[in-house]
Amino acid sequence: MKNILLLIWATSLLGCAAQPEKPATPAKLGMPNPASAWCVKQGGNLDIVNTGQGQTGYCTLPGGERVEEWTLYRRDHR
């Protein structure tokens, strides 16, 4: 009888034990690409093109001019 009571007591204790918390999703650190943000701020549409060397961003400005995003950023931030 004591064994049964001990088993019930131990089982109920395990049920009350704190469950490990799931790690919180880490906050995304960093900031947006300044050239991409500048394109959008100018009213342009950003287009990312995959190439053999990686990705290149192009900004199509409201007047129809299409410029590589970093070229636009450097041109406007001298």
Q: Where are the domains of the chain?
A: 32-78
Q: 42-67 burial string, b = 16+ CB within 10 Å, else e?
A: eebeeeeeeeeeeeebbbeeeeeeeb
The continuous run of DSSP H or E covering 36 comes out as helix 34-41
Question: Looking at residue 76, what is its pLDDT?
Answer: 96
Which contacts (CB < 8 Å, 24+ apart) does range 50-57 have? 57/33
pLDDT in tens, the chain (78 residues): 777 766 676 677 666 656 677 777 776 778 889 999 999 999 999 999 999 999 999 999 999 999 999 999 999 998
Q: In what order do the strands lie in the sheet with 66-68?
A: 45-51, 54-60, 66-68
Question: Looking at residue 62, what is its pLDDT?
Answer: 97
**Residue 32 has what DSSP assignment?**
-
Instruction: Say if residues 76 and 38 touch (Cβ distance below 8 Å).
Output: yes
For the whole prediction, is pTM greater than 0.75? no
